[in-house]
Amino acid sequence: MAQMTTQSINDLPDSDFAYIEPGGSKDSTGRTVPRELRHFPVHDAAHVRDALGRAPQSPFGGKAMPKIRAAAKKFGIDAGDDSSSSSSSSRAESLGPYTRSFPLEDISVRTTRDGRIVEAYLAVFNTRSKPIRDQDGEYTEDLDPVIFNRAISDARPQGSRRNWLTGVFYNHAMTLYGTPSEMFSVPVAVTQDLATDGRGVRATDKYHRSQLGDEIVEGLESGAIPGYSFQGQFRRSSPAIPPGGFRKNHRTGELPHVRRMESTLKEYGPTPWPAYDEAAVLALRSDSLMAAMMKDPDLAMRMLATFRDSAPVDSLPLPAAPDERGSAPGDSPPARRSGRSVKQEIDAARAAFLLRYRR
């Protein structure tokens, strides 16, 4: 949505707003004063989409929705009906958060005096997902470019608050089995900035100077950690989620496609599970890490031991994982050198990941 100045919005006529509070007066141009009584400009498609996302959280939303929906129809925007929108919103709240992961297409790492700054996309717009099966049914989806407008605005530092209201965690503070991880429950970085561009949402994060933070950044640079992921609740989707969720067309087998229009943003961070259509494990543009690992085999083995607990690699057993008889083994044996070079060890681990989990 193109940014408009306050003056530009003030210059709009009253007819371009979905709701005007009572109690004001008209100026010589016929516009309501004070201007703050006018809510939800709907003069173009971008502002209509924004109004659709903000109205459910506003005390004036109920009164504004009829005009917002009329504007949506004018611009060809699917706003759903009142009942389905309400049902979809309450259903999303009751069934908990959603998680979406994306491959790392571009990443930059720079070192500062008090930490390493990582820039990467946590979400990508206008990209069709692989088939999804979750609480909303079975479908494919993509993300509208306005999906995080409100979430980013709400999370941004403001007033006396200097920090972003977002957390940065590895794998959403979970093990690969979906159970809480004590190690990963500590934030690995702090948000420096969140910004949208034509591609997606680009996060700038300062990673803590710690062993875990260093190993995660090294994994991002090497490609051992291949994606970023966000967690939140989808507030609005097009089309609205039907009762019972989305289902395949019983005649053609085609999956319905959903465009996610608004989402909260609870937390995000690196993930071993890039889940969108182009989610190959991408080799990132960094030769310096491999050179360092060739000189320091102990560094490579520490990384392999760490990612043994956070990435599904066949060659290294996971601690506390049930064995084939269903019993929990004791401590996993320490990582052992196989006689292969460090580069061969890393390549073997990545190949095992791909062979087992790439579908």
Distance CA 104, CA 280 (A): 9
Per residue in 198-207, pLDDT (tens digit) is 899 999 999 9
Per residue in 57-94, pLDDT (tens digit) is 677 878 898 999 999 989 888 765 444 444 444 444 33
Distance CA 163, CA 191 (A): 8
Higher-confidence residue: 245 or 114?
A: 245
Question: What mean pLDDT comes out for the span 294-306?
Answer: 53
Per residue in 145-169, pLDDT (tens digit) is 999 999 999 999 988 888 999 999 9
Q: If you average pLDDT over every residue of the chain, what do you get?
A: 76
Residue 145: what pLDDT? 94
Residue 192: pLDDT over 90: yes
Residue 13: pLDDT over 50: yes
Beta carbons within 8 Å of 293's beta carbon, 6+ residues apart: 222, 299, 300, 303, 342, 343, 346
Per residue in 25-35, pLDDT (tens digit) is 999 999 999 99
Distance CA 295, CA 359 (A): 35
Question: What mean pLDDT comes out for the span 43-48?
Answer: 89
Question: What mean pLDDT comes out for the span 304-316?
Answer: 42
Tokens of 28: 């010589």
- Range with the lowest mean pLDDT among 85-89, 191-195, 347-351? 85-89
Highest mean pLDDT among 2-11, 42-51, 313-322, 347-356: 42-51
Residue 193: what pLDDT? 96
Q: Hey, which residues does 271 pair with through a beta bridge? A: 227
b/e per residue 26-35 (b: at least 16 CB within 10 A):
eeeeebbeeb
